[in-house]
Chain A
Amino acid sequence: MIGVMISASFLMLAPFFLMLTTSLKSSAELKSIGFSIFPKEISFANYLVAMQRGKWVRYFYNSFVITTVTVLVSLVINSMAGYAFARLRFRGRQILFISSLIGMMIPPQTTMIPVFIMLRHFPLVGGNDLFGSGGIGLINSYTGLVIPFIAGSFGVFLFRQYYLNFPHSLDDAAEIDGVGKLRCFLWIYVPLSKPAFATLGALKATQTWNEYIWPLIMTTTSDMRTVQLALALFRDEHEIQWNYLMSATTIITIPLVVLFLFAQRFFVEGIVTTGIKG
């Protein structure tokens, strides 16, 4: 068993091993002919050099703000909708749910341009007048970077499937106590949903943190760059500075790894049963 686990994780991690060893190679070694897995001499200075190119504090701040806001807002609105679709009866539920799945089905490359035009003409912001002309709207703003991602059909679907698994006895108990549906959601379902919140939070954070195309078209100044856009600093037109690129890639992956380490204790926390007992 352990053997299977070790070899499986070795396979999974092998490509990253390449990433790490490359990030430690000196520029001279990378330019010399021939490829070796291990660096001839280890130069940790690459990490410093990479972070001194450009304004990384600013890029991290941008990515951090965008990711945090997107995750928090989408957790709230997705869990509410997921609960409604899983546990409440209302006219049009079926059709509303199915149409909400469309949000996952459409490739972002298709909606990108129409959304961009809409945000550009968002009224009363970015120098725009009431009719959405005159300025640049939400282009180059945090709001513009966040807003298209918070709908998240995916999250609604996840919460719905998750809540479908909850025993109906939970609702029955609440009904006997005379608790309304909204309170039932807030007091019973939400506290029991830590695994779902943690899962969606981690997935959503990953997606938002790694988004490339949308920040690319939405930002116009280097001060609004996200960490993913900033990686372009090491990809010149003619040459890729592999050691710096891989150093920076390692650094920008670390926050997500930390987040995952923090979140994973919820993934494996028994929930529903403890809920019934308590």
Chain B
Amino acid sequence: MKGRILLIVLLVSIFEAGLVGAGGKQEKPAEKKEPVKISFWIPGSDKASEDYFFEAAKEFSSRTPSIQVEVTILPPAAPDINTKLNAAKLSNTYPDVFSSFIVFIGARGIRGEFADLSPFIENWADKDDFYPSSFELGKYKGKIYGISYFPAPEILVYRKDFFREAGLDPEKPPRNWEELEAYALKLVKRDANGNVIRAGLDVPAINPEVFIKPFLWQNGAAVLDEEKELPTLDDPKALEAFQYVKRLIDAKISIPYDYQKKSDIPFIKGNAAMSFIMASTITSTLKSNPSLREIIGFAPPIERRKKVPFTGHRLFTIGATSKYKNEAWEFIQFMLSKEQMLKRSRLLDMPIVRKSLEQEYYKDGDAEFKKVVVEYSKLGKSAEVTTVTAISNKYLSDAYQAVYSGKSSPEQALKDAQEGILKDIKK
């Protein structure tokens, strides 16, 4: 008897499962007379920015009733975003508009996932108002796959109070490699056993690509020849940069951390005197802890042969398979309008990329920080837009970590990386 009751209960639940499943169905795609529905995917950042994007989409739809925008917030981590986009691509559910990181332009956009925006831009009256880099960054072989709306440079920040403690002038941050190293050595603090309890300069142990690349660039080297899509780590200038970084590692001036775990950066936790940190991470830290503002200083871009900091970007892109490219472009135009850009700068502290907004932009808020962000952004270089960036990053990271752990000399590590990339891209 008991068995039968159990069975009935189970059968009912199966039936219910079917019903619930059917209830979860989506309505049919929009018919002709109804407004066009476009999907907009954006990696999440924080509550304020999510609220803004939902609000902006609503505002756009109310002004342009023929286009409805459906916003989907993605997780902030790149692997999760990649997973989501892969699934979307293979199932033909790719978003119409996607707010892309610069790495995705190379990894995905130029491989046919994003539409070429140059026909739209050509006929766009506003195009001359933008900094040229807005269109340059997403360019590959003459086509423009994305428009940058949000530069996010990695800024060298330092603690003025720790500078004073170490007898350094808090108004004179390091300007070049030599000073960076010398200051870091002075600023480090160790306990009786020699363990670092306060880093002189944050030197990451894991996910170091964004940290190491600027040193190569500042010395006139590069990871890749972007035209030929081949590695260039056999350059003596690359070796010189690696040897410099090895000196920083061997000096034992840092607490190991993962560069991509933004909340775990020793500087953010108050355990480091200098660090390279993404501008938006600084903004968010200062927002939640305003008292830090007085003791944090911003150094100008570090110089060797050149001044080249790392600058990440967010770009608006249109899915190559989108059925509503014109509508998508209309939405992007709205998002790039002066009004929305100013709103983002006020609400979310995003930098502006239109010349005509400069005066307005500096008028209120933290002018010193804003100027630094713009200076870094103008000099900054981004992730390489090539189809082999992901692979070359892997070997670059291996080389760095081999040097970090003392397993290889810089010569050997770079040689391995160069050969590894060459072999891997041919596989």
User: Is B20 engaged at the interface, CB distance under 8 Å to the other chain?
Assistant: yes
Q: How far is the CB of A132 from chain B (nearest CB, A)?
A: 11
Are B87 and A116 in contact, CB atoms less than 8 angstroms apart? yes
Q: Which residue of B4, B10, B39 contacts A76 across the interface (Cβ within 8 Å)?
A: B10
Q: Are A72 and B14 in contact (CB under 8 A)?
A: yes
> Would you call B123 an interface residue if the criterion is a C-beta within 8 Å of the partner chain's C-beta atoms?
no
Render A43-83 as a binary contact track against B, CB cut-off 8 A, 1 for contact: 00000000001000000000001001100110110000000
Q: Are A216 and B84 in contact (CB under 8 A)?
A: yes
Residue of A nearest to B269 (CB): A33
Cross-chain contact A136 with B26 (CB below 8 angstroms): yes
B75 near A216 with CB under 8 A, answer yes
In the complex, chain A residues whose CB is within 8 Å of the CB of B29: 127, 134-135
Asked if residues B83 and A213 are in contact (CB atoms below 8 Å), the reply is yes
Interchain CA distance A217-B87 in the complex, whole Å: 7
B28 at the interface (CB under 8 A from A): yes
B278 within 8 A of A: yes
Give the interface segment out of B281-289, B372-380, B414-422: B281-289
Judge whether A232 and B44 touch: CB under 8 Å. Answer: yes
A277 at the interface (CB under 8 A from B): no
Interface size band for B: 35 or more
Q: Is the CB of B13 within 8 A of A125?
A: no
Which residue among A33, A65, A217 has the maximum number of chain B CB atoms within 10 Å of its CB?
A217
Q: Does B7 contact A (CB under 8 A)?
A: yes
* Also in contact, A141 and B21, with CB within 8 A (given A135-B29, A216-B84, A237-B44): yes
A239–B278 Cα distance when bound, in Å, is 12
Q: Which residues of B contact A217 (CB under 8 A)?
A: 83-84, 87
B45 touches A237 (CB 8 A): yes
A68 touches B13 (CB 8 A): yes
In this assembly, does A264 line the interface, its C-beta being within 8 Å of a C-beta of chain B? no
Which A residues are in CB contact (< 8 Å) with B75?
216, 232
Within 8 Å of chain B (Cβ to Cβ): is A140? yes
Closest to A125 in B: B25
> Contact check: which of B10, B44, B281, B285 meets A72 at CB < 8 Å?
B10
What residues of B have a CB within 8 angstroms of the CB of A186 in the complex?
A: 3-4, 7
Q: What residues on B are CB-neighbors of A138 within 8 Å?
A: 21
- Mark interface residues in A211-246 (1 if CB within 8 Å of B CB, else 0): 001001100111010000000110111111000000
Q: For the complex, is B64 an interface residue (Cβ under 8 Å from A)? A: no
In the complex, A240→B284 CA distance in Å? 11
Give 1 or 0 for each of A9-36: 1 = CB within 8 Å of chain B CB: 0000000000000000001000101100
Q: In the complex, A76→B22 CA distance in Å?
A: 21
Known: A69-B20, A146-B21. A135 touches B28 (CB 8 A): yes
A101 at interface by CB-CB < 8 Å:
no
Residue in A125, A220, A235, A236 whose Cβ sees the most chain B Cβ within 10 Å:
A236
Tell me if B46 and A125 are in contact (CB < 8 A): no
Chain A CB within 8 A of B2 CB: yes
How many chain A residues touch the partner (CB < 8 A)?
A: 52
Complex contact B20–A142 (CB within 8 A): yes
Contact between B86 and A113, CB atoms less than 8 A apart:
yes
Find the B residue at minimum CB distance from A185: B3
Q: Flag whether B72 is at the interface (Cβ < 8 A).
A: yes
Contact A117 B93, CB 8 Å, known A69-B13, A135-B26, A236-B44: no
A116-B91, A135-B28, A232-B75 known; A142+B21 contact, CB < 8 A? yes
Residues of A within 8 A of B10 (CB): 72-73, 75-76
The answer to whether the Cβ of A253 comes within 8 Å of any Cβ in the partner chain is: no
Q: Beyond A125-B22, A127-B28, is A237–B46 a contact (Cβ under 8 Å)?
A: yes
**Residue A126, interface by CB 8 Å:** yes
Q: Does the CB pair A113–B90 fall under 8 Å?
A: yes
Asked if B17 lies at the interface with its beta carbon under 8 angstroms from chain A, I say: yes
Contact call B20/A238, Cβ cutoff below 8 A = no
Shortest CB-to-CB span from B285 to chain A, Å, is: 7
Instruction: For the complex formed, measure the closest distance between the CB of B350 and the CB atoms of chain A, giving whole angstroms.
Output: 13
A204 at the interface (CB under 8 A from B): no
Nearest A residue to B43 via CB reads: A237
User: Are B13 and A73 in touch, CB under 8 angstroms?
Assistant: yes
List the A side residues contacting B24 at CB < 8 Å. 140-143, 224
- Does A191 interact with chain B (Cβ within 8 Å)? yes
10 nearest CB pairs, A to B: A143-B21, A33-B270, A141-B24, A120-B91, A237-B76, A238-B284, A236-B46, A238-B281, A69-B17, A217-B87
Q: List 30 A-B contacts (CB under 8 A).
A: A53-B47, A72-B14, A73-B14, A75-B10, A76-B14, A116-B90, A116-B91, A117-B91, A125-B25, A127-B25, A127-B26, A134-B29, A141-B24, A142-B20, A142-B24, A187-B3, A190-B3, A190-B6, A217-B83, A221-B72, A232-B44, A233-B47, A236-B45, A236-B284, A237-B46, A238-B45, A238-B262, A238-B284, A239-B285, A239-B288
